[in-house]
Structure 1
Amino acid sequence: MGVLLFKWLVTALAVLHPFYVSVSEITHDKSKNELQVSCRIFADDLETAIKKQYKAPLDIVHPANKAITDSLIAGYLAKHLFVTTDGKAVRLQYLGYKIEEEAAWCFLAAEKIPAFKRAHVRNNILYDEHPNQINMIHVIQNAVRKSTKLDNPTTDADFSF
């Protein structure tokens, strides 16, 4: 009886206190001189944020018009995720997204990015929607992975290689 009560309590607490986390992974592909970015964001949270920002109807999971949905997601990410390498702004190009379980995986890339010594990331994805939003960031270069956690309202992280 005690174990069942504990499991019920944990489940109830999870429902009462939702967990808001996104994960952004930024990988430098040396062979292509390319920066590859993937962002895992809960689809319902991303949809809500985009509806609020653009005041437009949207269904990310079952889009009525995929091109418009892609455009809205690209615009949202362009306003909430910035990367610089060695002090130079990186122009990220939105490639698309896919839904996997409850998450939207969004993909971006930048060409002609040489290996770098420093990377700066500004990430405030979903900060307007969730005061307790956490954004995990991983930067990978030459098989070296550096990670950090940003708790709302902290938006900036620096990485050295």
Structure 2
Amino acid sequence: MGEGGKGELMRWPFFRDRRFSKILKAGLLSILHFSVLLSSLILFSASSVHEYHVSVTQMQYNASQQLFEISIRIFTDDLEKAISQDNGMRRFLINDKDQNNPFVERYIRRNFSLSGTQKKAEIKYLGKEQEADATWIYLEIPFKGSTENWKLQNSILMETFEDQVNMFNLKFASDTKTFLFKKGKTTQIL
């Protein structure tokens, strides 16, 4: 543009026309608004959506303490959505310093259980821990005897996601078993 800057543009007749100036400003503002909106959508969708819904549970028997030690790994955004749905769509943000343990515990107790022919095992909720995009939930279940005729129910996140799969690894004495829980198959015999 040289040294004249804006003055040089004003020499062109269409830049001196006020109608053209208004149209140009409106067009530039529309492009700017569209760019901001598009950028926001791309950032939001890239950060909070993943293509699959899966949890992984490890359940190992500690013979010396006569209990099962359980750790459940769940995508944090999925857990937040499920707990929100479970609590009238109230918004939850899960992290190590939040006050949401009672809500997480209630949700887990409703969707995860071990039961025998005579009784349901008592679950002790120990807490949760944040790891990148996942939350680890820790439980203990006092247990004596054999796992024969015991059933495990794991319907975590299945009310929230149609494609939810819960992978489950059980180690009891020298025996290791793996189970898959999904919609229509939320209970398995150990």
TM-score computed with the length of structure 2 as normaliser: 0.68
8 Å CA contact retained: 1:85, 1:116: no
Match of 2:92 among 58, 63, 68: 58
CA distance, structure 2, for counterparts of residue 62 and residue 36 of structure 1: 20
1:112-131 matches, within 5 Å, as 113-118=143-148, 119-131=150-162
Q: CA deviation at 1:30?
A: 0.7
TM-score computed with the length of structure 1 as normaliser: 0.79
Higher relative contact order (CA 8 A, sep 6+): 1
Aligned to 1:96: 127
Q: Provide closer, same or farther for how the CA distance between residues 142 and 129 of structure 1 changes in structure 2, counting only shifts above 3 A.
A: same
- Residue 75 (structure 1) aligned with residue 109 (structure 2): no
Aligned to 1:25: 58
Show structure 1 runs of 5+ residues with no match. Answer: 1-14
Higher normalized helix content (fraction of residues): 2
CA distance, structure 2, for counterparts of residue 20 and residue 54 of structure 1: 21
Q: CA deviation at 1:123?
A: 0.7
What residue identity is the alignment partner of 1:50?
A: I
8 Å CA contact retained: 1:28, 1:115: no
CA distance, structure 1, for counterparts of residue 147 and residue 96 of structure 2: 41
Aligned to 2:171: 140
Partner SS for 2:95: coil
Q: How many residues align?
A: 141
- Which range moved further: 39-48 or 25-34? 25-34
Q: Provide closer, same or farther for how the CA distance between residues 101 and 19 of structure 1 changes in structure 2, counting only shifts above 3 A.
A: same
CA distance, structure 1, for counterparts of residue 73 and residue 50 of structure 2: 20
CA distance, structure 2, for counterparts of residue 24 and residue 51 of structure 1: 22
- Which range moved further: 43-52 or 81-90? 81-90
Partner SS for 2:138: strand
CA distance, structure 2, for counterparts of residue 109 and residue 134 of structure 1: 22
Aligned-pair identity in percent equals 23
CA distance, structure 1, for counterparts of residue 96 and residue 116 of structure 2: 36
CA distance, structure 2, for counterparts of residue 98 and residue 82 of structure 1: 21
CA RMSD of aligned residues (A): 2.0
- Which range moved further: 150-159 or 91-100? 150-159
Q: CA deviation at 1:93?
A: 1.1
Q: CA deviation at 1:62?
A: 6.2
Computing the radius of gyration from Cα coordinates, the structure with the larger value is 2
